[in-house]
Structure 1
Amino acid sequence: MRAARYYGRGDIRVDEVPEPEVGPGTVGIDVAWCGICGTDLHEYLEGPIFCPTHETPHPISGETLPITLGHEFSGVVYAVGDGVDDLAVGQHVVVEPYIIGDDVETGPESTDYHLSENMNFIGLAGRGGGLGEKIAVQRRWVHPIAASVPLDQAALIEPLSVGYHAVNRSGAQAGDVALVGGAGPIGLLTAAVLKALGVTVVVSELSPLRRQKALESGVADHALDPLATDVAAEVRKLTGGKGADVAFECTSVQVVLDTLMDALRPTGVLVVVSIWGKRSDFDIHRLVMKEIDLRGTIAYGNSHPATIELVESGKIDLAPFITGRIGLDGLVEEGFDTLIHRNETAVKILVSPSGTGL
């Protein structure tokens, strides 16, 4: 089968690799669609980061480079291993793409397995990836999804779960006002979760296309251009001088973080969602004087079932956020290059590894 393999910084190749073995307790999945994530772009430009190196294997997967990329994917079950009796061939599924130590509790009541030592992701640290035609995944990480949800939209469940977990971390409630800094894929999907909960959403974004997408998709009530508007002042105006109740940093850009601090009300909550590749010049004095709660968030923990319910119930429509569909051979030129050099023109680009979805 064909798979996009990461060999190191700036080096992705489409290789022929063996089909995975569907062993006991695992599920064989024909990958339908896989999204290109910002993390994939970071690996391509700056990595290895989450990926292992050629010399040092990941401590859980035991794999070194090259690895198959892709962790935002949907597909159809083509085989089930011994001991898997609650999924059937032909069923539509998505994957919670974790690589977690076998000694870590990951049951329904666990809220911190994603913070365990050496945690990593399928499609970044080994065990196959969504940019291959097929993959075998441990049953624990496979989630069924209704056939009424198109498989291209289902591929966005994983990044939507990131937004769901971030909103959960914030404590936002219906009637609150939230400011989302950045309307890339994660910013827009975080906004979608907020709107589904009845929160008033203000988005700050440079790209006219992405501001328009935020408004047309209905996930934002207001979309502000930070070059043309004093965002913090406008948020205070919209809230009767109070400021936003919660804010979400989705860019890893210093000026965005500063703006969110300005726009929050005293005792507001600031959630940092983006992955920062450098240290922040953070204004601790302002945090102290406003008694701001600063919270980090990474990925998700037992968030997929609730996230899937939001989509299956129709509370969130993922269709507007898909702005491109390509095959595996166009991964770098049509996918990575667009998102690196012309990211203001796209939101989520999906890849069909077998080409059957095109």
Structure 2
Amino acid sequence: MRAAVYRGREKLTVEDIDEPSCTPGSIKVAVAHNGICGSDLHEYYAGPIVIPTEPHALTGYQLPLTLGHEFAGTVVEIGAEVRNVAIGDRVAIEPIYRCGKCPSCQLGHYNICRRIGFHGLMAPGGMAEYTVVPAWMAHRLPDSISMELGALVEPMSVAYHATRLSEVHEGDSAVIFGAGPIGIGIWFALRGIGVEAVTVVEPSPTRREAIAALGAIDVLDPTRTDPAQHIAQRTRGHGVDAAFDAAGVAASVSGALSCLATRKRLVAVAVYEQPVETELIKLIRNETLIQGSLCYTAVDYRAVIDLMARGHYDTTGWVSHVPIEQVVEEGFAALRAGRKMKVLIDP
């Protein structure tokens, strides 16, 4: 079968590899679409970072391996002892490997397992015609959800999890710094729980236009409009009930903190390539909280799938499809250059 195999920094080749077989408790999925994640970009251009160069503690895999952890497809084979999935099921995959024994796992927070692994980063993933995963990773997709949306359940669950951690409620207000795929996902999630007063801050014209076309009304260019002043005017000096940093730069952190109301929280859901300094006096004066957000759990997957089934998400104008043979040129390179926003690889 054809697969995109990662061998190190800027070494990703599409090649023929052996088709995987099911083991007890696993399922084989014919992949429809697999999204390129920001973490994939970091691995390709600066890695290996989290991709193991020695056998991973939970999966046993190491370089080289097939990338891809954002995917959906159809179950074509099931292993012994599989009861919850059937051949022919359309599924989105929740790609987290967890130990089940560490304190985080024992509390149900397996998304911060001390030995966490990801299918497509610590095990051969979905940038291939077929992949084999543990059956418990599978979430069935209703017929009303397209495979395209199914491949977006993973990143949209990242965004939904961040929204849950913000503790905002219907009728509250929020600001999102960054209108890439995760920023768009946060916007969808906020609207899904009834938060309509949302300001989006994004310097890229392409991204501003994309989220505005989806229905976002209050979209700012921070090079022209000061977000803190704008929020102060919009909220009559109170500030917003939650801020989200989906940009991952010092300016977005500082800007987000300046927009918050008293005792509210900034949720950091970006990848930070450089250290970010924070003026603690800002936190002290406002009793502000900074909340980290990592991945998702099954709760977030179920919520996103439910919203998708009700027609809540729209891929128009920000999702592109690329054949697997063009994964580097029209996938990784196009994303890095800003020519595309979200790319789905079609094996």
Confirm or deny a common fold (TM above 0.5).
Answer: yes
Q: Deviations over 1:299-353 (max 9, x none)?
A: 0122211221111122x22322643111111101001111111x2x422111101
Cα distance between partner residues in 2 of 1:4 and 1:66: 10
- In the alignment, which residue of structure 1 is the partner of 2:343? 349
Q: What SS class does the counterpart of residue 91 from structure 2 fall into?
A: strand
**Which residue among 173, 190, 203 is the counterpart of 2:200?**
203
- Give the Å deviation of 1:270: 0.4
Identity of aligned residues (%): 36
- In the alignment, which residue of structure 1 is the partner of 2:29? 29
Letter in 1 for 2:92: V
TM-score, with normalisation over the residues of structure 2?
Answer: 0.96
Does the 8 A contact of 2:34 with 2:344 survive in 1? yes
Cα distance between partner residues in 1 of 2:249 and 2:104: 33
- In the alignment, which residue of structure 2 is the partner of 1:40? 40
**Which residue among 115, 119, 134 is the counterpart of 1:118?**
115
- Distance verdict in 2 for CA 1:331–1:135, change over 3 Å: same
- Distance verdict in 2 for CA 1:102–1:173, change over 3 Å: closer
Does the 8 A contact of 1:33 with 1:75 survive in 2? yes
The correspondence of residues 237-248 of structure 1 with structure 2, limited to 5 A, is 237-248=233-244
Cα distance between partner residues in 1 of 2:258 and 2:315: 33
In the alignment, does 2:45 pair up with 1:79? no
- In the alignment, which residue of structure 1 is the partner of 2:95? 97
Cα distance between partner residues in 2 of 1:76 and 1:174: 36
Does the 8 A contact of 1:71 with 1:130 survive in 2? yes
Q: What SS class does the counterpart of residue 319 from structure 1 fall into?
A: coil
In the alignment, does 2:333 pair up with 1:337? yes
**Which residue among 162, 178, 185 is the counterpart of 2:181?**
185
Cα distance between partner residues in 2 of 1:198 and 1:255: 28
Moved more, 258-267 or 155-164: 258-267
Cα distance between partner residues in 2 of 1:105 and 1:92: 33
**Which residue among 259, 268, 272 is the counterpart of 1:272?**
268
**Which residue among 288, 293, 298 is the counterpart of 2:289?**
293
Does the 8 A contact of 1:70 with 1:131 survive in 2? yes
Q: What SS class does the counterpart of residue 32 from structure 1 fall into?
A: strand
Cα distance between partner residues in 2 of 1:19 and 1:47: 26
- In the alignment, which residue of structure 1 is the partner of 2:133? 137
Does the 8 A contact of 2:84 with 2:135 survive in 1? no
Q: Deviations over 1:166-186 (max 9, x none)?
A: 001110111111100000000
Does the 8 A contact of 2:246 with 2:270 survive in 1? yes
TM-score, with normalisation over the residues of structure 1?
Answer: 0.93
- Give the Å deviation of 1:251: 1.1
**Which residue among 169, 174, 184 is the counterpart of 1:173?**
169
- Give the Å deviation of 1:103: 4.2
- Distance verdict in 2 for CA 1:151–1:247, change over 3 Å: same
Does the 8 A contact of 1:252 with 1:274 survive in 2? yes
- In the alignment, which residue of structure 2 is the partner of 1:15? 15
Cα distance between partner residues in 1 of 2:305 and 2:186: 14
Cα distance between partner residues in 2 of 1:321 and 1:30: 26
Count of residues paired in the alignment: 345
Q: What SS class does the counterpart of residue 316 from structure 2 fall into?
A: helix
- Give the Å deviation of 1:106: 10
**Which residue among 209, 213, 220 is the counterpart of 1:212?**
209
- In the alignment, which residue of structure 2 is the partner of 1:356? none
Cα distance between partner residues in 2 of 1:94 and 1:62: 23
Does the 8 A contact of 1:271 with 1:294 survive in 2? yes
Does the 8 A contact of 1:2 with 1:15 survive in 2? yes
Letter in 2 for 1:36: I
CA RMSD of aligned residues (A): 1.7
Letter in 2 for 1:84: V
Cα distance between partner residues in 2 of 1:264 and 1:105: 32
Does the 8 A contact of 2:4 with 2:12 survive in 1? yes
Moved more, 26-35 or 279-288: 279-288
Q: Deviations over 1:74-121 (max 9, x none)?
A: 1011111112233222211000001222646999x9631111111021
- In the alignment, which residue of structure 2 is the partner of 1:61? 59
Cα distance between partner residues in 2 of 1:105 and 1:32: 36
- In the alignment, which residue of structure 2 is the partner of 1:232? 228
Letter in 2 for 1:329: E
Cα distance between partner residues in 2 of 1:313 and 1:81: 32
- Distance verdict in 2 for CA 1:59–1:85, change over 3 Å: closer
Q: What SS class does the counterpart of residue 129 from structure 1 fall into?
A: coil
Q: What SS class does the counterpart of residue 318 from structure 1 fall into?
A: coil
Q: What SS class does the counterpart of residue 87 from structure 1 fall into?
A: coil
- Distance verdict in 2 for CA 1:169–1:14, change over 3 Å: same
Q: What SS class does the counterpart of residue 14 from structure 1 fall into?
A: strand
